[in-house]
Structure 1
Amino acid sequence: MTEHSPEAPGTTALYVYAVCRADGSPALDGVAGVTRDEPLRTLSLGSLTAIVQTVRAAEFTDEAWQERLTDEPELERYARAHHEVVSAVAAQAPTVPLPLATLYTAEDRAERVLGNESARFHTALERIAHHAEWGVKVYAAGSPDEDGGGAAAQRPGTPSPPDARGRPAPGAGRAYLERKRNLQARRERQREESLRVAETVDTRVCRIAKASRRLRPHGPGAAGGHRVQVLNATYLVAEHRSAELDLLAQDLRESTGAGIELSGPWVPYSFVGEV
């Protein structure tokens, strides 16, 4: 829905944050948005209401936005300001958040385009009403020793037998390969068990969730340390079942031994486009 605005000095554009039902028009006091030049306001879309703000078009040209994408602190400032508005609205009524930097060159253009999407918005609002988004991340429990462990691994500082004369002991090569095979087998068993745990967690959480999405797991080190993430998912859960979800996560931690992180509740960004 993003339209890029003309660059002429003094030209303005309409920034759209979110859409909610007309009968749920929220109070916007105390929330600034992405600019302090103009206040947040509502734009009527018949049975719906859009949360909008007039901004300087020059700040959202392709060139300006590409430059902002390389300035992480500045980009984060805009993202936080956008999310603050969406969160404030969602705290008062079911809300469909729009992507960062959704702009229209004119108010009547926004009314026409957003109005044409009214059926999609109503379906999304019906779906997420009284629900929140929760994130669940599962990390594999432990990992086998890199050296294969056991007494067969020679301890640092252990002297070689006097008659070795720098030559490997008989059978040393076979013993080394056997340790490597055992280590690989343990790693494979652990990987399979971790994947079974991930499926168990997902299945159990899905029983109390209205909808779910599986995301790409993060690589080792993304969350600190060397933990291996085996599940990265998000769930749409009814507000009255949030305590049940918390208890379920604790039960799964105890029964599986896996590291399970539960985050939320969040505005259901992940579930407003699947309608």
Structure 2
Amino acid sequence: MPDALYAYAVAPAGSLPDRLQVTGILPGAEVLALEEAGLTALASPVPREAFEAGPGCRTEDADWLAARAAAHHGVVAALPGTVLPLAFGAVFSGEAPLRDWLRQRAPRLSSALAAVSGCTEWSVTLEEDAAQHGAWLRHADPALAQLAGKAEQASPGTAFLLARRLDKALAASRQARLQDTAQALGRLLQAEARHLAPSRPRNAAVAGWSALLAEAAQHRLRTALELEAIMLSGTGLSLTLSGPWPPYAFAREAASDA
């Protein structure tokens, strides 16, 4: 039986209908719009035990959790206009605590909503294929190419020492190029983004950013990044741009204590 409210997002008061025709976090869960302090919170009645530690907790079930996370995003993505999405798992013990949460944070949340108005979030990731990057540098860097040539022609003992020098020089060259490329991308993103935050690297990623972009900036940035991706092609470094997304990263900072 529902005894808690699962919150999806915050929007300006009056911007959404009282009930939305979208699928909630759980099958059959209604999505309600609760207005307080000039804000609207989107939430669904849920059984609290499903989300909190205890015998009825479901959050250790990976399949259940993945389905719920997808449902959370589905609600947020279906909302029209300006919204501030909350992180997955924002559960309140009832309507009164949720309204109190909105009142206490109204100025900060209203300011954040104004900041994301007319914007979407884009994710930019710099990735490295270490083997390909190293091979490219061995040919593109004259000093490394010369050292590699000497190691190939040297006697076994000397070749071993030169190979160790080459490995160290190659590692330093890789790191320097990664740093230079990441810094250049950061400057490019900073020039276009209304808000920019580092994102957590995954898999082969060595750097990543979440950029809050106005509509006009999106086209300029995509054009610039597509050109940069072409220039990096075949060198062991690659760029990935994904979006548009609701402003999850920006909202995570604005509502960090949700």
Q: What is the TM-score with the length of structure 2 in the denominator?
A: 0.82
Please tell me whether the aligned partners of residues 20 and 94 of structure 1 are also in contact (alpha carbons under 8 angstroms): yes
**Can you give the 5+ residue segments of structure 1 that lack an aligned partner in the other structure?**
1-9, 155-169, 223-227
Q: Is 2:99 the partner of 1:111?
A: yes
Which of 57, 63, 71 is the matching residue for 2:61?
71
Q: Distance in 2 between matches of 1:83 and 1:72?
A: 16
Q: Deviations over 1:206-244 (max 9, x none)?
A: 1111111123433xxx2xxxxx53321111111222121
Which of 198, 209, 212 is the matching residue for 1:236?
212
Residue-pair matches, total: 239
Please tell me whether the aligned partners of residues 17 and 102 of structure 1 are also in contact (alpha carbons under 8 angstroms): yes
**Can you give the 5+ residue segments of structure 2 that lack an aligned partner in the other structure?**
139-146
Q: Deviations over 1:31-53 (max 9, x none)?
A: 11112344211111141111111
Aligned to 1:188, the other structure's residue is in SS state helix
- If each structure's helix is expressed as a fraction of its own residues, which one has the higher value? 2
1:85 counterpart residue number: 75
Q: Distance in 1 between matches of 2:252 and 2:178?
A: 31
How much identity, in percent, do the aligned residues show? Answer: 26
RMSD: 2.6
2:143 counterpart residue number: none
Q: Distance in 2 between matches of 1:214 and 1:191?
A: 19
Larger radius of gyration: 1
1:209 counterpart residue number: 193
Pairs within 5 Å for 1:162-201 = 171-201=155-185
Please tell me whether the aligned partners of residues 51 and 58 of structure 2 are also in contact (alpha carbons under 8 angstroms): no
1:125 aligned partner, one-letter code? L
Please tell me whether the aligned partners of residues 15 and 55 of structure 1 are also in contact (alpha carbons under 8 angstroms): yes
Q: What is the TM-score with the length of structure 1 in the denominator?
A: 0.77
Aligned to 2:33, the other structure's residue is in SS state strand
Please tell me whether the aligned partners of residues 209 and 238 of structure 1 are also in contact (alpha carbons under 8 angstroms): yes
Aligned to 2:58, the other structure's residue is in SS state helix
Aligned to 2:126, the other structure's residue is in SS state strand
Q: Distance in 1 between matches of 2:176 and 2:52?
A: 49
Which of 34, 42, 51 is the matching residue for 1:51?
42
Aligned to 1:207, the other structure's residue is in SS state helix
Please tell me whether the aligned partners of residues 208 and 241 of structure 1 are also in contact (alpha carbons under 8 angstroms): yes
